[in-house]
Structure 1
Amino acid sequence: MKQKNLRILAIESSCDETSAAIIEGSDSPVIKSNIIASQIDLHKITGGVVPEVAARAHCEAIIPVIEQSLAPLEIELFGKKSDQTIRNVLPYIDAIAVTVGPGLVGSLLVGVETAKALAFAGGKPLIPVNHLEGHIFAAMQQVLNSKPEALLRQAQDGEQSRTINSKQTSNLKVQNSKQFEKLDISKLNIVSNLEFRISNLLPAIALLVSGGHTELVLIKDMFDYEIIGQTLDDAAGEAFDKVASLLGLEYPGGPAISALAEEFVKNSKSQTPRPPSTWHVGQVNSKQIKSLKLQTSNLELASNLEFRTSSFKLPRPMLKSGDLNFSFSGLKTAVVNLVKQLESNRDGISSQTHLGGGGAKRDLLRGEKQAIAYEFQEAVAEVLVEKSYQAYQKLSTMNYKLSTILLTGGVSANKRLRQSFKERFGDKLLISPVELCGDNAGMIGLAAFYRYKKQIINNKSQISNKFQIQNSKPILKSIIYNLKSAFPWKAVDVDPNLEL
């Protein structure tokens, strides 16, 4: 029997993106619209997110963003868009989903307040979603949406037989690709079987890497998580931002660092000669630079070549720590020291100088910035890949038959990181689509869809005991939401059980 189509309005406001999305489907969700209002230009002024500024920007953007996300559905239903989009479309929404943490308290409250008001006004179920769980579903979605025949053909080709975990196929054993040719897929009746798709995906390891989080999560089963490693100080994305600031680049730092690193690689392929490959941080001095004779009067070109092709080895923190935790503050400090060293090296490399605390200092050359950006990005990527591989090996020895490695979060959009993970994990790897890497309501709606389907809405224990919900717990637990300011009705206290 055909399942009823489910339509969810999802809201995300955990940091500096205001987003709303419509997710629709019967068995597999489809993101019908995913509107994001970014605050990047606003936070470039301060070089980072200011919580108070972010919260105020959310207040201004939340309603227009929701209206934009609902506009295609209004046109589909009524043939045109009106100035009463929310009022017209809300009756056709089955549930409201909203990010409840972790995140900035002020930013979270804007989304939660709005979602609760809409849920109360429309008499709709309200689905609280953990922000990190949303990132996980962004990476898993491509498999969860796969057709059964595609999944069957991806099953262990040439390996030992494996029983498919499905009521409809409890006796089916797939051994190799030859058997696939003999299967009559149309008779298996597993197109709408979510358990079948999950069985091909879990257990899994997820690396969540963003501006606020760097965590390794063991996904034992759907909605059953355990954090097995995390950063002890800076998140990877935060380190990108700080290093970008040191190099005089704009916020956000991730794309800027990546662009410089790509310049480094491009220029290294087209320029020669190579200086000694054994030079490391702290070993490059003015004598070595002067000895690099390229038969050119362009000193900046000579310096660029030297820095493009020499090896500035930054540390790879905690690779041999014996656990699965991360640390990026030391790497950031190493870049600080390198920049200071280069700035103080003023023996004829650049005529651009300025006065600093230690006397005359020069500005970094473009080639130097390229080299630092490249080595920093390589260091971060290597640590993230190797720690993930260590987690895979460790859990494999603990009798976890891991099916998948997930890479997700804002930093997972980094090209070099994606390439490194593909090289190491191959077919076991699932990466969030680039458009779902950053904060967005689409991923929140995906997680809400499956929670709604599995009927575990408002199940506190699964997330709160596993994910570390920071900042949001005290305030979301204590606030009584008053709808009087949102609707012309008498004041009503509403508590859809959102505390975690």
Structure 2
Amino acid sequence: MLVLGIESSCDETGVALVETQGSAVPRLLSHALHSQIAMHQAYGGVVPELASRDHIRRVLPLTQSVLGESGRDLDEVDVVAYTRGPGLAGALLVGAGVACALGVALGKPVLGVHHLEGHLLSPFLSADPPEFPFVALLVSGGHTQLMAVEAVGRYEILGETIDDAAGEAFDKSAKLLGLPYPGGPWLAKLAEQGDSQAFKLPRPLLHSGDLDFSFAGLKTAVLTQARRLGDDLESRKSDLAASTQAAIVEVLLKKSLAALDRTGLGRLVVAGGVGANRSLREQLNAACARRNVRVHYPELALCTDNGAMIAMAAAMRMQAGLEAASARYAFDVKPRWPLDALPLAGAAA
């Protein structure tokens, strides 16, 4: 079975083709991605209307590119999957509309996919895919969650974001330091030149006794410290960036280890854009190696939003019998869609 996946939830347009054979892990045949970063940089953040229009321009050429690279024809596609939510409403509607139009034209079914489940399952696209069960640290954009994952569709949320997520803490702190959009990668790069112990910044909820996250207080602390530095900020910017990154990483690290302890599981999966952070990977790898815990990540190219994770999630849900693709082409999108609202294993789709 060939699954074509379309991602358009925010500022990346992604298309991919995944093949399934029986119960084996689906195989990525090809994928293509266009990032809108250059377009949004002038505004310091994503402009939803511009994002939607750019998705319209990009999605069909990317689809042609994916088909050409895979050597497959469009009429060979068995299912068209798209990101149904969460995300920007207008951007989601582009992907949903194109997917359903393709479904009608081909006479093939379509399936709306949860964006966060796509990230969660994206490590299965790697050269070293995980095995169930595992603890998952999902750090994507405005979402930071820890979950116990028993199988596809069997997720127990152990802790989640109360206010600002880790990705928001990176991006907002970077903006306070005058770094370009998107700030997280710029802050991480600048941090490599700084002293991570130069400033004593808070580690919110680190000793709360639960597995929830809250990074709003850290952002406020970065703002306060930047104002205190005044004219010296430019010369100390790398130190402040390094200290900020260290605070975020320590919270993610220690909460992840606590989740492993609480569940007794010996495998950790890290997914989402922040999962590409080098400091986080190094510290998680070292700490988990000491505990004899395996750690899995998506390939670096698949940490950000992409069509491959959408095709993969659709394929794995159908393999698990959780959801059937539909030949009804009326669609809606869910800009706000909690992951725990998905049909679960053993429940009706």
**Considering the TM-score relative to the shorter chain, is it more than 0.5?**
yes
Pairwise CA distance, 1:403: 3.7
| SS of residue paired to 1:202 | coil
| Amino acid of the structure 2 residue aligned with 1:58 | H
Query: Structure 2: which amino acid aligns with 1:236?
Result: A
Once residues 363 and 391 of structure 1 are traced to their aligned partners in structure 2, the CA distance between those partners, rounded to angstroms, is 40
**Post-superposition offset of 1:384:** 0.4
1:416 aligns with 2:279: yes
The verdict on how the C-alpha distance between 1:422 and 1:472 changes in structure 2, with shifts beyond 3 A counting, is: closer
Map 1:198-347; keep pairs closer than 5 Å: 201-264=131-194, 308=195, 311-343=198-230
Match of 2:316 among 450, 456, 465: 450
By how many angstroms is 1:144 displaced? 7.8
Asked if 2 retains the 8 angstrom alpha-carbon contact of 1:24 and 1:30, the reply is yes
Deviation at 1:248, TM superposition (A): 1.0
Q: TM-score, normalised by structure 1?
A: 0.62
C-alpha change, 1:94 and 1:317, in structure 2 (3 Å) is: same
In the alignment, the residues of structure 1 paired with residue 81 and residue 325 of structure 2 have an alpha-carbon distance, to the nearest angstrom, of 14
Structure 1 unmatched ranges of 5 or more: 1-5, 78-88, 146-199, 265-307, 344-361, 397-401, 461-468, 474-499
The Cα shift of 1:223 comes to: 1.5
Residue aligning to 2:49:
52
Say yes or no: does 1:39 pair with 2:39: no
- Alignment correspondent of 2:331: none
Q: Aligned Cα RMSD in Å? A: 2.2
**Residues 39-438 of structure 1: matches in 2 within 5 Å?**
39-73=36-70, 76=71, 89-142=73-126, 201-264=131-194, 308=195, 311-343=198-230, 362=231, 364-366=233-235, 368-396=236-264, 402-426=265-289, 427-438=293-304
| Distance in 2 of aligned mates of 1:376 and 1:51 | 28
Q: Which residue in the other structure is 1:16 paired with?
A: 11
Task: Count the aligned residue pairs.
Answer: 327
In our comparison, the structure showing a higher alpha carbon Rg is 1
| Aligned equivalents of 1:432, 1:310: Cα separation in 2 | 30
Name the aligned partner's letter for residue 101 of structure 2.
A
Q: Deviations over 1:262-283 (max 9, x none)?
A: 122xxxxxxxxxxxxxxxxxxx
Query: In structure 1, what residue type is equivalent to 2:258?
Result: Q
- Decide whether the 8 Å contact of 1:128 with 1:458 is kept in 2: no
Deviation, 1:25, is: 4.0
Deviation readout 1:232-289 (Å, 9 max, x if unpaired):
111111111111111111011111111111122xxxxxxxxxxxxxxxxxxxxxxxxx
2:2 is aligned, of 7, 10, 17, to 7
Q: 1:136 to 1:258 in 2, by over 3 A?
A: same
Query: 1:415 offset after TM fit, Å?
Result: 0.3
Deviation at 1:472, TM superposition (A): 5.9
Q: CA deviation at 1:10?
A: 0.6
In the alignment, is the contact (CA less than 8 A) between 1:404 and 1:428 conserved in 2?
A: yes
Stretch of structure 1 that moved more, 128-137 or 323-332: 128-137
2: distance between equivalents of 1:95 and 1:365? 52
Distance 1:32 1:425 in 2: 32
Which residue identity is paired with 2:169?
Answer: A
Map Cα deviations across residues 163-213 of structure 1 (whole Å, 9 max, x no partner). xxxxxxxxxxxxxxxxxxxxxxxxxxxxxxxxxxxxx82221111102221
Could you list the per-position Cα deviations for residues 305-353 of structure 1 after superposition, in whole angstroms to 9, with x for gaps in the alignment? Answer: xxx486311111101112111001100000000000000xxxxxxxxxx
Task: State the one-letter code of the partner of 2:124.
Answer: M
* Distance across 2 between alignment mates of 1:9 and 1:24: 9
**Partner of residue 342, structure 2:** none
Secondary structure class of the residue paired with 1:364? helix
The alpha-carbon distance between structure 1 residues 120 and 225, as it changes in their structure 2 partners (threshold 3 A), is same
Give % identity. Answer: 44
Helix, strand or coil: the match of 1:263?
Answer: coil
TM-score (norm 2): 0.88
**One-letter code of the match for 1:119?**
G
Q: CA deviation at 1:363?
A: 5.8
Contact 1:104–1:472 (8 Å) recurs in 2: no
The 1:115/1:144 distance shift into structure 2, 3 A limit, reads: farther
Greater length-normalized contact order (CA 8 Å, ≥ 6 residues apart) = 2
SS of residue in 1 equivalent to 2:121: helix
1:21 to partner: Cα distance: 0.6
> C-alpha distance in 2, partners of 1:225/1:144?
21
Question: Does the Cα contact within 8 Å between 1:244 and 1:253 map onto a contact in 2?
Answer: yes
Deviations, residues 15-71 of structure 1 (Å, cap 9, x unaligned)? 110110111242332222111110101111111112222112212222222122122
Distance in structure 2 (CA, Å) of the matches to 1:412 and 1:446: 18
Report if aligned partners of 1:108, 1:472 keep a CA contact under 8 Å in 2. no
State the Cα distance separating 1:459 from its structure 2 match.
Answer: 9.0
